[in-house]
Structure formats: structure tokens, C-alpha cells
Amino acid sequence: MGVIRIVIDTNVITSALMSKKGYSYRLLSIIDDVRFKPYISTPLIFELEDVVQRNKRKIKLNQNEIDDILDYICYVAEQRKIFFLWRPFLKDPKDDMFLELAVEANCDYIITFNKKDFLGIEKFGLKALTPKEFFELLGDIK
């Protein structure tokens, strides 16, 4: 198996920032792992910054620490520009940006806690996985 190409939903990254427990934190902790490559887009980063700010009281990090983590995600992930839109395709219009990025980057998986929000992405050769399922795929379950 080659390098696994992924898009990480904002709910996974936000969860990782809120708690050092669970698979979302483990995923963020190894975001630079050579077994997979995360992809981002400008709309995804703006959405992530917005979600993090809305949940800032639940995150036990100061603004500089949050900024450093988001900057590192941008450094590690490959940024893609979206020149086409599949909208509307998914139930929640905000989730379409993840689908568009995953299709443009030829990703294998979208990592999310809301798999039900990504019904039908199989048409694009994609599959939604929870962080735990992603670690099972990697063979790295604890």
C-alpha cells in the first residue's frame, strides 16, 4: 500500500485540541507520519479557524499554541486549490468543501466523526472513516 491520501474534518481536529485522549488527538499527534498525507484548502483552513474560535472556551490552549498547531497542519499538509464545485451534493452544504478537496486531491479517505454526513461519497472513490477506523486501517490500534 502506498501513501494514504486523507482529508481531516474540522470536527476531528477540534476534538484533538479539546482533549489529549482519543484517536483524534493521536491522529493530530502524528500528522506528519509518512504513512499518510493530509490535504487542505483555503476554505478548509478558514472553516477550521472559525470552528476553533467558536470552541475556544473548551480548548485548554492559549491562542499562540492554537495558532502554532494550525500553522503546523498547514506546513505538513499539501494545499490544493479547488477549481470546480460539486455543490450541492451532501446533506450539509458545509461538508461539500471536504468532498471537493478530497476529489481534487485524489484522496482515499475523509476522516470524520460524522460519517452519516458523507453518504454517497463512494461515487467518487472515497470512504469516510472515524479516527479509530483510520488507525485500524493503519494497523496501529491500541
Number of domains in the chain: 1
Q: What is the pLDDT of residue 82?
A: 84
Cα–Cα dist 135/133, whole Å: 5
Q: Which domain holds residue 71?
A: 4-138
Closest CA to 31 of 51, 47, 7, 50: 7
- Indicate the pTM of the whole model: 0.92
Mean pLDDT of 98-113: 95
Mean pLDDT of 1-27: 95
Q: What is the pLDDT of residues 68-77, one digit of tens each?
A: 999 999 999 9
Q: What is the CATH number of the domain that holds 119?
A: 3.40.50.1010
First-to-last CA distance in the chain? 21
